[in-house]
Amino acid sequence: MTTIMRKTGIVTDPSYLDHIPEANVPEQPSRLKRLYEALAENRQMDHLVHVPAALATSADILRVHTPEYLQRLSNTHGREQVVLTPDTMTSSGSFTAAMAAAGGFCAAVKAVVEGGVDNAFALVRPPGHHAERSRAMGFCLFNNVAVGAAYARRVCGIQRVLIIDWDVHHGNGTQHAFERDPTVCFFSTHQYPHFPGTGSFTSTGRGPGEGYTVNVPLPKGYGDGEYAAIYDTLLPPLVEAFRPELILVSAGFDTHRLDPMGAMRMSDDGFAVLTRCVMNLADQSCNGRLAMVLEGGYHIDSLARCVTGVLLELSDQTHQRVSEWTDTANQKKVRYAVTRSGHVHRRYWEN
């Protein structure tokens, strides 16, 4: 019998299945349906704590989005279909799902900050990191991770939040939400050039937020070892300098080698390794306080397996050894990312 070292919260909710885009959109309810089934069948998941998904309040949403945009989305409630962008549309249940997704992540943040759980993963949809202040984008309605970070700052009294985004796509909406804010640091690895086109090494934040946006755009073909080495090299000095009181992760699984939306080479285990990297950082800086929220991941069986692996790691039922993975990295690929990022950010961060 494995000793359970950490209490891990999960947020699940049936309302997340009621956001139903057209069939040609890859972001479908089946993603979560398969995942929830896999969790229900797995006895090791019995150790997790269910954190109820409250609906976000208007105030929660308005810390990140405009009143006009909130109104526009609330007007879609009960309507069969409203097309917001060519790939982002609502069904009658989408508004409730989106409010429960943003609110579910706030509930996860609250549980972690108040200490009811050690860490948490909000298994929500629609995803969020492409959503901009006043518009939907890339399957995203409200920016869940940004709403959660603002909630942590304004409601929970957290002084500094680090957001890590490992989705294969750049979190443009998250970057824009905090690019002028030195209290929220945004670190993103993403395939580049790729949708949405933002996230170059040289976008580093604006005004008082300059230096607090850290983009690591990567050519296609990066795998577990390279990701682990990049995280293990770039993040520890950043965390040491920034001293976050809470770490949030935009956890996308579309860097998986089987994913139809990306061209990266991660395996199922790689996500557990990245999780351990981030847990080590959270242990160093903020008593392990860590909350993740689901972003992309469009190969349905891989998504279920990878999230299960992340949950086992978060709850200490498995324990990945990061160095064993960084040893397998293609050093040339790692050096490219680390050197370019170091060159840009040296002036902002000591070391």
DSSP β-bridge partners for residue 10: 50, 121
Shortest Å, Cβ 93 to Zn ion:
22
Which CB, 148 or 296, lies closer to Zn ion? 296
Which CB, 252 or 270, lies closer to Zn ion? 252
Is 254 a binder of Zn ion (CB under 5 A)?
A: yes
Is 252 a binder of Zn ion (CB under 5 A)?
A: yes
Shortest Å, Cβ 194 to Zn ion:
9
Among 9, 173, 296, 309, contact with Zn ion (rule: CB under 5 A): 296
Question: How many other CB atoms are found less than 10 A from the CB of residue 115?
Answer: 10
Number of H helices, E strands in the chain: 11, 10
3-state secondary structure 130-178: CCECCECECCECCCHHHHHHHHHHHCCCCCCEEEEECCCCCCHHHHHHH
Helix axes 300-314, 29-41, angle to 10 degrees: 50
3-state secondary structure 311-349: HHHHCCCCCCCHHHHHCCCCHHHHHHHHHHHHHHHCCCC
- Taking CB under 5 A as the binding criterion, the range among 72-80, 96-104, 147-155, 166-174 that sits at the site for Zn ion is 166-174
Shortest Å, Cβ 254 to Zn ion:
4
Shortest Å, Cβ 188 to Zn ion:
11
Shortest Å, Cβ 29 to Zn ion:
17
Q: Among this protein's residues, is 130 annotated catalytic? A: yes
3 state DSSP class of 88 = strand
- Taking CB under 5 A as the binding criterion, the range among 227-235, 278-286, 295-303, 342-350 that sits at the site for Zn ion is 295-303
Q: Is 155 exposed, middle or buried (0-12, 13-18, 19+ CB in 10 A)?
A: middle
Among 169, 190, 194, 289, contact with Zn ion (rule: CB under 5 A): 169
Which CB, 160 or 169, lies closer to Zn ion? 169
Which CB, 7 or 169, lies closer to Zn ion? 169
The residues that touch Zn ion, with contacts defined as CB under 5 A, are 167, 169, 252, 254, 296
Give catalytic residue positions: 130
